[in-house]
């Protein structure tokens, strides 16, 4: 096992691990995010559509972010990353301490929800600074206060399903929820991936509507993996196995789709009104405008700085810095336009 520490951005470091890991093994992912590494490398080498291959390459510098973890703590597969308004960093990972918060200098602040997670997946912040998580084995979405207290639970732990859990009370069941989005009215949208649908809740957690079913037509999904609400409350959903992004209004009406995007994994808004997406299987991130045109791409499959080993999470800071979390390399990288 080889450890490599790098200082690559002022105030941030990461201990990169090559060839092994001295921590708890990650749980298996029931959504099959990661297949055998050799298969993924073969997939990555030839999977990009002509649309993606023909896009310009973005001129970005890459660095590995280090975090000051408590003694004896390590990251596992980093499924998601989020940024506070003050530059603080939140990570969701599949190690022994899944949900972690750090300040803008990388110093450890707190762990949230210890013991509540089995297969961590999605992580989002809402407008009030609440932390939302999705777990694909507990089949739940949790909301934490900014201080780390659980304040809402969606779904019933250990009970995947499409309908309602009724034992003198009713809970709408979820199945491998993958991501969470929020509109300007405070409504919550869950990408209920295992049920191939979107579930809309009000701000109090009451279900309002669902839409979607398995398929490849408009409004159908083959594993809806990521969801965000953009300008004018347009809802963008990455339809992973169909290689596209679908767009809806807040009532679930289909508006548009952007196809030929590879394995569309995770989507996040940029600081300039554009969108950023990861194709984890190809080791690529891409910048999209709001018409679905690819403005540029960056990255290759690999382990070096600037390569990605299954980029599964992405977040953009106010200054335009792009943070990418990786499953297979167990790290976070930060990308910036050269010269910044």
Q: Give residues with Cβ within 8 angstroms of 151, minimum separation 6.
A: 130, 143, 144, 145
User: What phi-psi label fits residue 240: left (phi over 0), alpha (psi between -120 and 50 degrees) or beta?
Assistant: alpha
Where do the structural domains in the chain lie, given as residue ranges? 2-337
The pLDDT confidence band at residue 109, using thresholds 50, 70 and 90, is: very high
Which residue reads 């398995």 in tokens?
A: 214
Is 60 exceeded by the pLDDT of residue 33?
Answer: no
Q: Would you state the pLDDT for residue 22?
A: 31
Q: Give residues with Cβ within 8 angstroms of 56, minimum separation 6.
A: 295, 296, 297
Is 70 exceeded by the pLDDT of residue 88?
Answer: yes
Q: Would you state the pLDDT for residue 188?
A: 98
The pLDDT confidence band at residue 164, using thresholds 50, 70 and 90, is: confident
What is the enclosing helix (H) or strand (E) of 39? helix 37-46
- Cβ burial of 8 (10 Å; 0-12, 13-18, 19+) is middle
Token pair belonging to 87: 């530059």
Find out whether 308 and 283 touch, Cβ atoms under 8 Å. yes
Q: Would you state the pLDDT for residue 55?
A: 87
The pLDDT confidence band at residue 23, using thresholds 50, 70 and 90, is: very low
End-to-end alpha-carbon separation of the chain, Å?
34
Q: Would you state the pLDDT for residue 50?
A: 59
The pLDDT confidence band at residue 36, using thresholds 50, 70 and 90, is: very low
CA distance 156 to 164: 9
Mean pLDDT computed over 172-193:
97
Is 70 exceeded by the pLDDT of residue 170?
Answer: no
Report the percent of the chain where pLDDT is more than 90: 77
Is 90 exceeded by the pLDDT of residue 34?
Answer: no
In this structure, CATH architecture of domain 2-337: 6 Propeller (2.120)
User: Mean pLDDT, the chain, as a whole number?
Assistant: 87
Give this prediction's pTM: 0.86
CA distance 61 to 193: 34
pLDDT tens-digit series, residues 271-325? 999 999 999 999 999 999 999 999 999 999 999 999 999 999 999 999 999 999 9
* CA-to-CA separations, 211 to 181, 197, 207, 235, in angstroms, rounded: 15, 5, 12, 12
Tell me whether strands 275-279 and 235-239 are parallel, antiparallel or unpaired: unpaired
């Amino acid at each position: 096992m080889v450890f490599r520490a790098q200082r690559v951005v002022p105030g941030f470091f990461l201990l990169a691990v090559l060839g092994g890991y001295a921590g708890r093994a990650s749980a298996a992912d029931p959504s099959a995010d990661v297949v055998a590494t050799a298969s993924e490398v073969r997939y990555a080498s030839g999977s990009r559509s002509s649309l993606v291959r023909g896009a310009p390459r973005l001129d970005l510098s890459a660095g590995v972010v280090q975090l000051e973890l408590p003694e004896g703590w390590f990251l596992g597969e980093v499924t998601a990353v989020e940024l506070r308004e003050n530059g603080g960093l939140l990570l969701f990972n599949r190690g022994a301490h899944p949900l972690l918060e750090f300040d803008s200098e990388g110093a450890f602040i707190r762990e949230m929800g210890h013991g509540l997670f089995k297969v961590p997946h999605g992580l989002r912040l809402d407008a009030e600074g609440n932390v939302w998580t999705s777990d694909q084995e507990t089949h739940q979405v949790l909301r934490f206060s900014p201080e780390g207290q659980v304040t809402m639970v969606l779904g019933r732990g250990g009970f995947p399903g499409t309908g309602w859990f009724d034992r003198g009370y009713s809970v709408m069941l979820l199945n491998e929820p993958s991501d969470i989005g929020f509109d300007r009215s405070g409504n919550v949208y869950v990408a209920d991936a295992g049920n191939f649908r979107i579930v809309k809740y009000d701000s109090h957690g009451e279900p309002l509507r669902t839409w979607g079913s398995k398929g490849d037509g408009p409004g159908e999904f083959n594993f809806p993996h990521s969801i965000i609400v953009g300008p004018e409350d347009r809802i963008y959903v990455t339809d992973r196995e169909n290689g596209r992004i679908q767009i809806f209004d807040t009532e679930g009406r289909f508006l548009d789709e952007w196809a030929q995007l590879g394995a569309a994994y995770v989507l996040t808004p940029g600081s300039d009104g554009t969108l950023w997406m990861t194709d984890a299987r190809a080791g690529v991130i891409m910048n999209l405008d709001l018409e679905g045109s690819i403005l540029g791409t960056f990255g290759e499959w690999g382990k070096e700085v600037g390569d990605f080993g299954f980029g599964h999470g992405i977040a953009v800071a106010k200054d335009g810095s792009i943070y990418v979390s990786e499953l297979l390399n167990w790290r976070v990288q930060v990308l910036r336009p050269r010269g910044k």
